[in-house]
Amino acid sequence: MIHMEKLTKYYGEVCAVDGIDLDIRKGEITGLLGPNGAGKTTTMRMLTGYLRPSSGTIRVRDLSVDADPLAVKKRMGYLPESAPLYANMLVYDYLLFVAHARGLKGDKARGRIFAMVELCSLSGIMHRPIGELSKGLRQRVGLAHAMMDDPEILVLDEPTSGLDPNQIVEIRDIIRSFGRDKTIILSTHILSEAQATCDRIVIIDKGKIVADGSTEVLTYGLGEGRSLRLVLAGADLEAARSVLAPVEGVVSVEGAQDAGPGLTALEVRYLPGSDPRPEIYRRIKATDWVILEMAPKGVSLEKVFMELTREA
Amino acid sequence: MTRVFDVFAREFMDYFTTPIAYIVICAFLVVTGWFFFATFFIMNQASLRTFFSMLPLVFPFVVPAVTMRLFAEELHSGSLEMLLTLPMDLSDAVIGKFLASSAFVAVMLAPTLSYGIWVSFMGGLDWGPVAGGYAGAVLLGAAYCAIGVFASTLTRNQIISFILGMVICLALSLVDKMLFFFPPDVLAVLHYLGASSHFENIAKGVVDTRDIVYFASVVFLSLYGAHLVMQEKR
């Protein structure tokens, strides 16, 4: 659906985006993740045709953003960071302007506006000036702006930044309910946000892609090995270690925190690619211990993120 | 073309949802009205000539106040990003904003038609030069609006945008009044560059293509410059 090739952008001497190659498939929700100044916004601005790349190409389907910007913009809805809307205008007037500018006229424009009012729950604020709205409400008007023409591609720059947890959930629900078959690209530096909303996460740092994969792949696949948290009743640490350490693939068995009184919590680390869980279960079954908890522990996305983007 | 109209309509309405329109119109009417009627009975002539002859000096202060926000405000707030990622060309935005400010200047001039009506009660007013005067005023206003649009693209600060626009417009208004400073070889060129003489020709009722071409070129060059500046920012 979207194909970026060697995308580069210089601001004077400063390189904001440094040769990004990225393919985004139809229907995918992609999260662009990175520290501030990593090049997320610049990448999105080039994708939406607001900025011209210094070099490299972006194609949306078979259209080039550079050669055919109008056709690309027609298929794309874009919400810039912190929704910079016309503060003087009433919400209704603004949405009408957007509908007209997107070529919707008359009843069709009204129909789409009402659909957006429904989707983004704007009915109470249609006659208030945008400048007087709270941040969360303004963000919802911004989403209505972006989704007005039912675009195939939705590009959202930090759609939830600066919002409270309830508003974040609302915005996330709006994005989700917008459509399963839509291609959505959103940027964020909140990791739990990306984990909750996106199918795929692309981590950008200093203008380069440093990791790209599904949320699961990133949390389990990167980092050295996996670990398993076990909580046992009737065992002690030494006995458990002597039973579990010989299992194939197990690297270490350590005591862990947060067990209740009389319980033993363990962290069992094992090699990536091996799965010692069935064997661990069989061995514990042979004793008179009781398994109260057995849970895989991924390396958290926070950790992956910090690992990948820390200062060299 | 419909997108130019969308931008035009939005910008034009925006003038009237903020106090700026009313302040500018009031200031314009008070200043021109006072200067016009202060000398009107001394001159003892039923004509609007003194009114029109003021405009090249009044417009450089008024028109940039109308145009200063057009791009500067959008650059400052970031709303330009919203506007230009709609299916819209940069030129649609530039032309729409220019037309909106020009239309606003025309609206600002409209109440001064009442001067003509009052004067016609006092003596036989020749409406020919009045019509010419308004045609010239609209052309002059449009040219200065285009310059103001250009000044507005140069900065995100509205005050700087206003001062830049004022300086350029004032230079065009005054250059042919300062000809005695310049060597004779460039006099003809500078005389042609000055806006006042072209305006006065039309205001006299003499419609010469040279004057029309002059205003059209100022508009075109300014808007083209604005387009280039915005293009360079991408």
How many Å apart are CA A272 and CA A296, to the nearest integer? 12
pTM of structure: 0.83
How many Å apart are CA A162 and CA A180, to the nearest integer? 26
B208 contact A CB<8A = no
Chain B residues with beta carbon closer than 8 angstroms to that of A102: 86-87
What pLDDT is stored for residue A301 in this prediction?
65
Q: Which residues of A99-121 are buried (b: 16+ CB within 10 A; e: fewer)?
A: bbbbebeeeebeebbeebbebbe
What pLDDT is stored for residue A217 in this prediction?
67
pLDDT digits (tens, 9 = 90+) for A153-169: 999 998 887 788 888 88
Chain B residues with beta carbon closer than 8 angstroms to that of A80: 78, 81-82, 85
Radius of gyration of chain B (CA): 18
**What value does the mean pLDDT take over residues A41-63?**
89
pLDDT band at A257 (very low <50, low <70, confident <90, very high): confident
Task: Calculate the average pLDDT of chain A.
Answer: 83
Tens of pLDDT, residue by residue, chain B (234 residues): 788 999 999 999 999 888 888 998 999 999 998 888 888 778 777 778 888 888 889 999 999 999 999 999 999 998 999 999 998 889 999 999 999 999 999 999 999 988 888 888 887 778 888 888 898 999 999 999 999 999 999 999 999 999 999 999 999 998 877 777 777 777 878 888 888 888 888 888 788 888 899 999 999 999 999 999 998 888
Chain A residues with beta carbon closer than 8 angstroms to that of B17: 88-89
Q: How many residue pairs bridge chain A and chain B with CB atoms within 8 Å of each other?
A: 64
pLDDT of A223 over the 70 cut: no
What pLDDT is stored for residue A218 in this prediction?
67
**What value does the mean pLDDT take over residues A220-245?**
76
pLDDT band at A298 (very low <50, low <70, confident <90, very high): low
B86 contact A CB<8A = yes
pLDDT of A35 over the 90 cut: no
What pLDDT is stored for residue A302 in this prediction?
67
pLDDT band at A225 (very low <50, low <70, confident <90, very high): low
Type of residue at B132: G
What pLDDT is stored for residue B44 in this prediction?
73
pLDDT digits (tens, 9 = 90+) for A157-201: 988 877 888 888 888 888 888 767 889 998 887 777 777 788 888
What pLDDT is stored for residue B149 in this prediction?
96
**Which letter does DSSP use for residue B112 in this model?**
G
How many Å apart are CA A266 and CA A231, to the nearest integer? 6
pLDDT band at A203 (very low <50, low <70, confident <90, very high): confident
CA dihedral B123, B127, B133, B137 (to 10 degrees): 100
Closest residue in B to A129 (Cα–Cα) = B17
Element of type H or E holding A74:
helix A69-74
Residue with tokens 């069935």: A278
Q: How far is CA B166 from CA A90, A204, B58, B161, in A?
A: 32, 45, 10, 8
Q: Is the Cβ pair A80, B234 closer than 8 Å?
A: no
> Tell me, what's the ipTM?
0.87
Q: Is the Cβ pair A85, B234 closer than 8 Å?
A: no
- Assigned token pair, A68: 């055919």
Q: Is the Cβ pair A86, B79 closer than 8 Å?
A: yes
pLDDT band at A219 (very low <50, low <70, confident <90, very high): low
CA A151 to chain centre: 20
Smallest Cα distance from A179 to chain B, Å? 21
Give the lowest-confidence range in A133-137, A234-238, B64-68.
A234-238
% of chain A exceeding 70 in pLDDT? 91
User: DSSP assignment of A216-266, as one string?
Assistant: HIIIIISSS-EEEEEEEES--HHHHHHHHTTSTTEEEEEE-S---TTEEEE
Give the lowest-confidence range in A87-96, A224-233, B109-118.
A224-233
By Cβ distance, the residue of B18, B81, B87 closest to A70 is: B87
pLDDT digits (tens, 9 = 90+) for A269-281: 777 667 788 888 8
What pLDDT is stored for residue A222 in this prediction?
53
Chain B residues with beta carbon closer than 8 angstroms to that of A98: 86
**What value does the mean pLDDT take over residues A94-121?**
89
**What value does the mean pLDDT take over residues A243-265?**
80
